[in-house]
Chains A and B, each alone.
Chain A
Amino acid sequence: MTDSGTSLSPQIRILPGGDQRLLAEIGVVDPNSLDSYRKAGGYAGLRRAVEKLGPEATIDEVAAAGLRGRGGGGYPTADKWRAARAASGDSKVVVANLIGADPTALGDRALAEGNPHLLLEGLLVAAFATGASDAIIAVRRDWTVAIERLRAAIAEAEAAHLAGYLVLGTDFSCVVRVWEGAVALVAGEETALLAALAGDRGMPVIRPPYPTERGLGGAPTTVQNGETLAHAAWIASHGAKKFRAIGSKEAPGTKLVTVYGRVAQPGLVEVALGTPLSEIVALAGGGTGTTKAVFVGGPGGGALSADQLDTRYDYEPLHAAGAGIGLGQVLVADTDTCMVDSARFFLDYSAREACGKAVPCRIGTKRLVETLDRILAASPRPNDLLLLRELSRKMTDTALCHLEARAPGPMLTTLDRFPDEYRAHAERGECLAGACKGSRVAPLLAPLAGL
């Protein structure tokens, strides 16, 4: 029993409804007790994988289930594991990315605090499938509750021979440890996370070679989002067919979505992929006021206007609309929100959180912010709107990591869908939403607020 009790941190609010698989056990299972987890059917997946299936068949099962990475990229998980398995190297590593690059996304934190054994099981399944002997759970160092519970879970699992050496009596060994991390938004990029793990400054590197070929310390490393691993554990115990029962054909399964902004009940919800956005917003109690736009995917996503709320929450449909899944952020904005100001906010966020390695990102995001500042101050240069698009295109074309490629997303989508607001600001200094009154940061030479 740890000091924190069994409840979740107050930052996490789980909403009822949706299609709960991963969240189903939170509140039911005692996060501090291995027995409680096992009684609810825990570690059956790991047992099945290690004792019955074997590594290849485990990967096949995950492939059959069609699991895609939940860290935003949507890369087929089985392909990644296969690549890591095929890579040459004696000591392979698996890393669970729980850094939670965007602090507004609550999914990974909820899992880490509410059901740490689920994450651990998924991590062990991944380690077994790829042939890794080391596993690291990279957790944001602020999540003290999560860190505590994860460490306790690892200790319990090792004592029960479910982790550590000679798991379940077989010759599969996997030593798991928790790494308290301090990285910025760029932690969503796996190579940046690996650099931070090695003690370097967390900046991405050119890929290929991908981490599955050469990652941490030169060993083939599989970096997987925490939620993805939880799904993998679920697949191992329940089977691929059941996993495909809900969700869309290209992306089966569920996703943890954090709905926030102008909704009645902001919080975390689990939905099947393919659910229309309007339903997701309804799960959070619906929008307060008249919903104008929904920013899907955080700073690397995009804005969908209110009449696009029937868009299905899935990788391809969102991507086609200019947004993305990201870490499951759905931000609802109402008619009192200025789109230009929101775009500036997201770009400013990306600029401040940028690691600084790639020149177009480091300077480009800054220039885009300055351009938006000029627009907001009603003193644009003649080619400013053109500059916004051109610079974004250049950044996307030459991006070193996805943060840079997707940073202009919110701005471009708002520019496409709400051009009147931009024009009003640029030409008349008028905010159509009536929101911009001294609440934004003054542009140019004044110091930025924030570290």
Chain B
Amino acid sequence: MTIPGLGILKGLRQTARNYWAPKVTNQYPESRPTMPDRWRGRLDLIYDPFGEHKCEVCFQCAQVCPVEAIDMSGFDSSGNRIRYGLPEIYDERKDPNAYRRAGLPAMPMRNAARWDEEIDTPWLRGVIDGFGGKPEALVAIFSAVEERYGYLPERALREASERMSIHWAQIFGAAGLGGFRLLPADGHLVTICTCAACRFAGGDALLTALRADLGIEPGETTADGTITLETSDEVAAGALSPALRIDTLVYGPLTVEQGRHVVGERRKAPVRARSGQPVA
């Protein structure tokens, strides 16, 4: 037989007992919990309702992390999949999940074998020490490396980070916004200027013609590896618009015919760096 009120009394007995029982609260900060050695707090990226990462790879978390715990990867604006963080990846629609859900193949990683290339570490150390290892000299160091290799190899950036004790997120950030190349370019680098002056002077026609001629899109290399095509706003053609730059020399103003001609000519010549030395 159920006696009314008995349940209440039982409950009261339990709470009263609890009152005298030892408490389970951890009195932080007097007593800190001990974490096991291999404990890892995991960073999980959030997905939006459409299944895409909300992360836009704006790079700021990596740059500000005091223990350099964050690595990032994504696509650069030429559509190349870069690992370990190329900063100007603003196009979240190139997120691999977006591609996957659209049924499209993810963009292949260009020059996959070369991102881990060996570099001349003693030379680089000399360059860095020559500048006193100061962060203000970062651009100058990058210039020297780019002069020698034609781009900034990842190994070089990591070495710079270690040597100068700067987060390599910061190194990448500075490199990314500075117009340095982070991928090697096979063969001659043909950069077509897309600044306002060149475009309004007919630079588009030049780009279209060269794309058709070489059969590649900007960001790609021809099949024989002699020409890599790119566009840039920073060719600084000025009065030479419309212009293009092959390696380090700016040619302009060019008509479509002239442009084709000069590219065809340079294609046969060996590649040289800014200082005139052959690229390593």
Which residues from chain A sit less than 8 Å from chain B, CB to CB? 9-13, 100, 102-104, 106, 109, 140-143, 179-186, 196-203, 258, 260-262, 266-268, 295, 298-299, 329, 331, 333, 337, 342, 345-346, 349, 351-357, 362-363, 366, 438-440, 444-445, 447-451
Contact call B231/A438, Cβ cutoff below 8 A: no
Cβ–Cβ < 8 Å partners of A258 in chain B:
238
Top 9 closest pairs, chain A to chain B, by CB:
A199-B135, A182-B178, A11-B238, A201-B173, A447-B79, A13-B239, A103-B236, A450-B231, A449-B218
Contact call B63/A261, Cβ cutoff below 8 A: no
Closest to A356 in B: B58
Contact call B201/A260, Cβ cutoff below 8 A: yes
Complex CA distance for A355 and B90, rounded to whole angstroms: 10
Closest Cβ of chain A: how far from B34's Cβ, in Å? 38
Q: Is the interface of A mostly helix, strand, loop or mixed?
A: loop
Contact call B139/A196, Cβ cutoff below 8 A: yes
Q: Could you write out 14 A-B pairs with CB less than 8 Å apart? A: A13-B238, A100-B236, A103-B235, A109-B236, A141-B139, A186-B177, A198-B136, A260-B196, A266-B239, A267-B239, A333-B200, A337-B200, A349-B195, A447-B78
Contact call B59/A356, Cβ cutoff below 8 A: yes
Complex CA distance for A166 and B197, rounded to whole angstroms: 44
Cβ–Cβ < 8 Å partners of B218 in chain A:
447, 449-450
Within 56-113 of B, Cβ neighbours of A (below 8 Å) are at: 56, 58-60, 63, 76-79, 87-88, 90-91, 93-94, 102, 104
Cβ–Cβ < 8 Å partners of A267 in chain B:
239
Complex CA distance for A200 and B59, rounded to whole angstroms: 13
Q: How big is the B interface, by class?
A: 35 or more
Closest to A192 in B: B177
Contact call A353/B233, Cβ cutoff below 8 A: yes
Contact call B207/A199, Cβ cutoff below 8 A: no
Partner of A199 from B166, B234, B235 at Cβ < 8 Å: B166
Complex CA distance for A104 and B134, rounded to whole angstroms: 32
Interface string of B180-193 (1 = CB under 8 A from A): 11000000000000
Which residues from chain B sit less than 8 Å from chain A, CB to CB? 56, 58-60, 63, 76-79, 87-88, 90-91, 93-94, 102, 104, 134-140, 142-143, 166, 170, 173-174, 176-181, 194-197, 199-201, 204-205, 207-208, 217-219, 230-241, 250, 252
Contact call A329/B177, Cβ cutoff below 8 A: no
Contact call A201/B174, Cβ cutoff below 8 A: yes
Contact call B140/A184, Cβ cutoff below 8 A: no
Complex CA distance for A355 and B207, rounded to whole angstroms: 26
Cβ–Cβ < 8 Å partners of A180 in chain B:
139-140, 143
Closest Cβ of chain B: how far from A442's Cβ, in Å? 11
Contact call B199/A109, Cβ cutoff below 8 A: no
Contact call B179/A182, Cβ cutoff below 8 A: yes
Closest to B194 in A: A450
Complex CA distance for A109 and B219, rounded to whole angstroms: 29
Complex CA distance for A201 and B166, rounded to whole angstroms: 12
Partner of B173 from A11, A200, A354 at Cβ < 8 Å: A200
Complex CA distance for A104 and B140, rounded to whole angstroms: 24
Contact call A444/B93, Cβ cutoff below 8 A: yes
Given A184-B179, A199-B170, A104:B197 Cβ within 8 A: yes
Complex CA distance for A353 and B79, rounded to whole angstroms: 17
Complex CA distance for A10 and B250, rounded to whole angstroms: 10
Complex CA distance for A448 and B89, rounded to whole angstroms: 11
Cβ–Cβ < 8 Å partners of B136 in chain A:
179, 197-199
Closest to B59 in A: A356
Contact call A329/B196, Cβ cutoff below 8 A: yes
Closest Cβ of chain B: how far from A76's Cβ, in Å? 29
Given A11-B238, A447-B217, A451-B231, A199:B196 Cβ within 8 A: no
Contact call A451/B78, Cβ cutoff below 8 A: yes
